[in-house]
Amino acid sequence: MLVAAQWAPSSGNLQPWSFIVDANFDRSHDKILSILKEGNKIWVKNAPVLILTIAELERKWAAE
């Protein structure tokens, strides 16, 4: 499902997103938890899987 989401078409066919998947409460779980707002930390700390979506919001076009 994540591979399909990663390659799903986007505006300009840029696919500016990536995913970080964390399962089984490894070290990355604490890192992801540390960047969340306090209200989200309450329920996220017990989630068995975390998926962090990262997107490039600004397009960097080549000079014409």
pLDDT in tens, the chain (64 residues): 878 887 788 777 777 788 888 776 677 778 888 888 999 888 888 888 888 888 877 766 655 5
Q: Is residue 62 part of a domain?
A: no
Kindly state the tokens that stand for 1: 């499902």
pTM for this predicted structure = 0.60
Q: Is residue 45 part of a domain?
A: yes
Kindly state the tokens that stand for 47: 């989630």
Domains of the chain: total: 1
Of the chain, the end-to-end C-alpha distance in Å amounts to 36
Q: Which domain holds residue 31?
A: 2-55
| 3 membership: H or E segment, kind and range | helix 2-7
Q: What CA–CA distance (Å, rounded) separates 64 from 54?
A: 28
Hey, which bits of 1-64 come out as E strands? 17-23, 49-55
pLDDT of residue 63: 56
Q: What CA–CA distance (Å, rounded) separates 46 from 34?
A: 14
